[in-house]
Copies of this chain bind each other. A is one copy, B any other.
Amino acid sequence: MKKFEEKTVHSERIYEGKIINLKVDDVTLPNGKQSKRELVEHPGAVAVIAITPDNKLVMVEQYRKALERSIVEIPAGKLEKGEEPAASAKRELEEETGYTAGSFRHIQSFSTSPGFADEVIHLYAAEELKKTEQGAAPDEDEFVELLEVTMEEAEQMMQDGRIYDAKTAFAVLWAKQEIATDN
């Protein structure tokens, strides 16, 4: 797991932000040469593949400034300091969608952009969903629209580009296999 290791010779911190930090590391390559690595630090995130009893996927549409457009994604959120990923995923699901899950399990964790960022997303599957009495309760400055889509609709949204991020693309393929196996 350390094959072709790049040792840090010097690290310069460029920016410390609210969510991300940026540093530039000088590294020694396996052939002894030096190179630079521009690296973003991110607290990590959780995301939930939530499947309703009638096999719909719970999604949220929101504006993504980095893309200058709104996209349809599975419910997700940044990890808060010291928070366990599973607890964070349950909290995000309940806040963003108003659902709690009778069945909740870890599916996969993955790096989103290993070339320049340390962000890892912890992905969970939530089934046996029940609506809470108070419903969705997003933060005051969070603007999201809740959707429940069939597998066919989700696949169409991937073709149309309304679904347009890696975790949600993974989730659609995963849910398709999960639902096929269940039936």
Contacts and interface: CB of A to CB of B under 8 A. Distances in A.
Nearest to A114: B64
Given A27-B65, A118-B66, A143 B4 contact: yes
Contact of A4 (B3, B45, B63): B63
A178 to B, nearest CB: 11
16 contacts: A1-B69, A5-B63, A14-B15, A15-B38, A17-B24, A22-B40, A31-B141, A110-B168, A110-B169, A112-B113, A113-B119, A114-B165, A117-B117, A166-B170, A170-B173, A173-B173
Contact of A115 (B1, B30, B64): B64
Question: Which DSSP category, helix, strand, loop or mixed, fits chain A's interface?
Answer: mixed
Interface in A43-63: 45, 61-63
For A37, A66, A109, the residue with the greatest tally of chain B CB atoms inside 10 Å of its CB is A66
Interface string A70-110: 11010000100000000000000000000000000000111
A131 interface: no
B113 A113 contact: yes
A67 B39 CA distance: 10
A5 to B, nearest CB: 6
Contacts of A161: 109
B37 A121 contact: no
A3 B67 CA distance: 13
A66 B31 contact: no
A34 to B, nearest CB: 10
A179 interface: no
Interface string A2-46: 111110000000110111101011010111010111111010010
Contact of A67 (B65, B67, B114): B114
A20 B164 CA distance: 21
